[in-house]
């Protein structure tokens, strides 16, 4: 007995498997792409190095010398990666992070070198935060009572922004989570003629345990934690609120960070703002997959690509990932 509209009794009317039957049909049905241009490479450059130094908790990632950084940037550009985000590791730290806005400080020197060498092929980007430069390891300057002083920190961010723009940074990553940081930096840049420098607001940056390996990567001095300025991992609405504020303050791009543990926030932020939304696949996400792959517990390449695709599916336009160059090569190979 056959039913109406061609349905056969006892058989499924609807067969979703039809779109999975072959490579070609699956390709027609695929909703989300992952391409080299969706990737940005974060990179660490340490003052005074002649050779790169491996980071134990991030196998395959190094603290670069200026020379090895240049090579890594060229390789990233050749692989089709669209940007490199620089983090500086200075030799000396102090209470206000003086190395951050010193034109001869490692981050600004490295920025100038890359802007000259690969600035046409890659968007050269700089982390704008004080934690790598302060002796207490906080993202801002401290008030007399030891708390992080929001408005005094904004003055330091403005000085840092101008130094980075003068060095040739094309996009400043405001990762310090101070209130008003996007507006403060935008006004200062515009007043000095740097209207063309993009701002990335780390809007929904959570106080996350997944940053663990990064602390080794930048020789962090941090005592305590960042819970008075980074978001509580339980809060989704607050992440959306921060993203909307950053967009209103003039951010060209907003960030959700970390990525995989916050994909619900990613989706909601993507639906709420009209600027590009980036995700940061952080050091702990990297370390987890590398450790499991080293043990033979996960297929390394498949897991990495699936993690990146999932971040894209959740709404990220672009992903910062330590695998950017390698993943871009895999993707170009097809
Ligand atoms: C702060 C900063 C951090 C990371 C990027 N920028 C550390 C933190 O907020 O504690 C973490 C990146 C990673 O874990 O890969 N400037």
Domain boundaries, the chain: 36-333
Distance (angstroms) between ligand 1 centre and the Cα of 176 equals: 9
Token pair for residue 156? 């330091």
Q: Ligand 1, atom 7: nearest CA belongs to which residue?
A: 211
Distance (angstroms) between ligand 1 centre and the Cα of 203 equals: 13
Question: Is residue 243 within 8 Å of residue 203, measured between CB atoms?
Answer: yes
For residue 10, the model assigns a pLDDT of 78
Relative to the CA of 212, which ligand 1 atom is closest? 14
CA distance 262 to 215: 20
Residue 285 CB less than 6 A away from ligand 1: no
Which residues, at least 6 apart from 8, have a Cβ–Cβ distance to it below 8 Å? 2
Relative to the CA of 202, which ligand 1 atom is closest? 6
Residue 44 CB less than 6 A away from ligand 1: no
CA distance 12 to 6: 11
Helix (H) and strand (E) counts in the chain: 11, 10
Residue 282 CB less than 6 A away from ligand 1: yes
The fold of 36-333 is: TIM Barrel (3.20.20)
CA distance 331 to 35: 6
Residue 13 designated active-site? no
Token pair for residue 263? 């994909």
pLDDT tens sequence for the chain (334 residues): 444 555 567 789 999 999 999 999 999 999 999 999 999 999 999 999 999 999 999 999 999 999 999 999 999 999 999 999 999 999 999 999 999 999 999 999 999 999 999 989 999 999 999 999 999 999 999 999 999 999 999 999 999 999 999 999 999 999 999 999 999 999 999 999 999 999 999 999 999 999 999 988 888 879 889 999 999 999 999 999 999 999 999 999 999 999 999 999 999 999 999 999 999 999 999 999 999 999 999 999 999 999 999 999 999 999 999 999 999 999 998 7
Pocket test for ligand 1, best of 214, 228, 307 (most atoms within 8 A of CB): 214
Residue 320 CB less than 6 A away from ligand 1: no
Residue 175 CB less than 6 A away from ligand 1: yes
254-281 as b/e: b if 16+ CB within 10 A: bbbbbbbebbebbbbbbeebebbbbbbb
CA-closest candidate to residue 105, choices 69, 284, 309, 113:
113
Question: Is residue 255 within 8 Å of residue 238, measured between CB atoms?
Answer: no
Residue 267 designated active-site? no
Q: Which residues are annotated as a binding site for Mg(2+)?
A: 242
- Give the active site residue among 93, 136, 138, 257: 257
CA distance 236 to 238: 5
């Amino acid at each position: 007995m056959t039913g109406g509209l061609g349905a056969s009794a006892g058989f499924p009317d609807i067969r979703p498997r039809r779109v999975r039957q072959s490579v070609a049909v699956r390709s027609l049905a695929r909703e989300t792409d992952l391409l080299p241009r969706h990737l940005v490479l974060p990179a660490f450059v340490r003052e005074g190095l002649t050779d790169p130094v491996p980071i134990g908790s991030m196998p395959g990632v190094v603290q670069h010398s200026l020379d090895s950084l240049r090579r890594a940037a060229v390789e990233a550009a050749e692989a089709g990666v669209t940007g490199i985000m620089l983090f500086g590791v200075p030799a000396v730290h102090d209470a206000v992070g003086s190395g951050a806005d010193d034109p001869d400080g490692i981050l600004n020197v490295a920025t100038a070198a890359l802007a000259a060498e690969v600035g046409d092929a890659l968007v050269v980007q700089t982390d704008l935060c004080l934690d790598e430069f302060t002796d207490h390891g906080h993202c801002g300057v401290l008030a007399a009572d030891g708390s992080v002083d929001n408005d005094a920190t904004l003055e330091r961010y403005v000085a840092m922004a101008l130094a980075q723009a003068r060095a040739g940074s094309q996009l400043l990553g405001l990762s310090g989570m101070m209130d008003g940081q996007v507006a403060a930096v935008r006004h200062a840049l515009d007043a000095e003629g740097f209207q063309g420098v993009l701002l990335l607001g780390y809007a929904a940056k959570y106080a996350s345990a997944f940053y663990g390996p990064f602390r080794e990567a930048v020789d962090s001095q941090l005592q305590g934690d960042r819970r008075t300025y980074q978001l509580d991992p339980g809060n989704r609405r607050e992440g959306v609120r921060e993203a909307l504020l950053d967009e209103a303050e003039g951010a060209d791009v907003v960030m959700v960070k970390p990525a995989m543990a916050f994909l619900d926030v990613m989706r909601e932020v993507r639906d709420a703002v009209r600027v590009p939304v980036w995700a940061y696949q952080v050091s702990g996400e990297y370390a987890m997959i590398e450790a499991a792959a080293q043990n033979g517990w996960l297929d390394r390449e498949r897991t990495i690509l699936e993690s990146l695709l999932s971040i894209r599916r959740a709404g990220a336009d672009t992903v910062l990932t330590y695998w950017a160059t390698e993943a871009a090569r895999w993707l170009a190979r097809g």
